[in-house]
Amino acid sequence: MSATTSISVVRATGNDREPAASDHVVVEEPLALLLEDETLAITMRTPGNDRELAVGFLLAEGIITSRADLARITPCGRTGDEGRENTLAITLAPGVKLPVDPQTGELVRRGTIASSACGVCGRTTIGDLLGRIGRTRDTSVVRRSIIADAVASLRARQPVFALTGGCHAASLVSFSGETVCTFEDVGRHNAVDKVVGACALADRLPLHAHLLVVSGRTSFEIVQKAMSAGISALASVSAPSSLAVTLAEKGGLVLVGFVRGNTLSIYAGADRIV
């Protein structure tokens, strides 16, 4: 599996729009870690050096203390199976105890995606999500000027970042240009959760005809959170991942990246931007 992939993107500068062209985005795929045949965690990552990633995770979680605590780490499933590269089976060395919840007696699991299936792929993850929330029915259009202004003004709404330079921000802006709310957090996923949570408490969901602006890379989880809230469009100063683009396309979300003044890259929903 490659760390990058080629996708089609429409670039727009000023009043001109170029024909669709090929561009590279980083690949984002889930990696499932199975410990003694049970799902320990699933994390979103760029493929490559998965064994090292797994060992680092096990060390950080205190499941192992050294390489000696591992018997083997191998891809799960038969060669050629879809998702085989996305699932690692971990076997601990004899005598190493499993991380078991003392109250339930069950294996302690971590991660945001729960699955007992052996063999995980981006297509399965997206299918499960779309089966739960469906494709958006919102066909409203957004002006490019609204997107540009929302991204440009995000920095002014980041007082914590101005002080520390160490946190992300997410802002919700209506298609008419009204800033609904902005939150900061060290994790960009957390900042998005705060935006969605504030709107849910105010009984504003679904957020049709609204734009979510994020300060960092747009990952699958960010698109997932936006879609779950009914948000219509998502824009960032940075790049999306491959799985984020795929989910946005399938879910009907407008996805824009690399917004710099009048220049932006449209990864999904180009027909809904005027």
Lowest-confidence pick of 24-33, 116-125, 126-135, 186-195: 116-125
Phi, then psi, of 76 in degrees rounded to 5: -95, 135
Domain region containing 91:
29-132
- Per the domain annotation, does 251 fall within a domain? yes
Spatial separation of the C-alpha atoms in residues 207 and 160, rounded to whole Å: 26
Phi, then psi, of 13 in degrees rounded to 5: -135, 125
Residues 105, 200 within the same domain: no
Residue 214 sits in a domain of what CATH number?
Answer: 3.40.140.10
Domain stop point among 85, 102, 132:
132
Count structural domains, the chain: 2
Residues 115, 225 within the same domain: no
Mean pLDDT of the chain: 87
- Per the domain annotation, does 10 fall within a domain? no
Question: How confident is residue 72, by pLDDT bands cut at 50, 70 and 90?
Answer: very high
- Per the domain annotation, does 60 fall within a domain? yes
Question: Which residues does the annotation mark as catalytic?
Answer: 118
- Per the domain annotation, does 1 fall within a domain? no
Residues 197, 78 within the same domain: no
Residue 85 sits in a domain of what CATH number?
Answer: 3.10.20.10
DSSP code at position 215: S
| Widest distance between CA atoms in the chain | 67
pLDDT value of residue 121: 64
Residues 127, 158 within the same domain: no
- Exposed / middle / buried, residue 266 (Cβ in 10 Å: 0-12, 13-18, 19+): buried
Question: What pLDDT digit, counting tens, does each position of 175-217 carry?
Answer: 999 999 999 988 888 889 999 998 988 889 999 999 999 998 9
Spatial separation of the C-alpha atoms in residues 25 and 187, rounded to whole Å: 21
- Per the domain annotation, does 267 fall within a domain? yes
Res 101 pLDDT > 80: no
- Per the domain annotation, does 16 fall within a domain? no
Q: Model's pTM, two decimal places? A: 0.76
- Per the domain annotation, does 126 fall within a domain? yes
pLDDT value of residue 116: 42
Q: How many helices (H) and strands (E) does the chain have?
A: 7, 14
Question: How confident is residue 267, by pLDDT bands cut at 50, 70 and 90?
Answer: very high
Question: What pLDDT digit, counting tens, does each position of 11-64 carry?
Answer: 999 889 999 999 988 888 899 999 988 888 888 898 888 989 888 888 877 888
DSSP code at position 186: S
Q: Which two three-digit tokens encode residue 156?
A: 């002014």
Overall average pLDDT of the 120-132 stretch: 72
DSSP code at position 27: -
Cβ(188)–Cβ(212) under 8 Å?
no
Domain stop point among 132, 161, 196:
132
Q: Which two three-digit tokens encode residue 87?
A: 């699932």
Residues 162, 175 within the same domain: yes
DSSP code at position 20: P
Res 76 pLDDT > 90: no
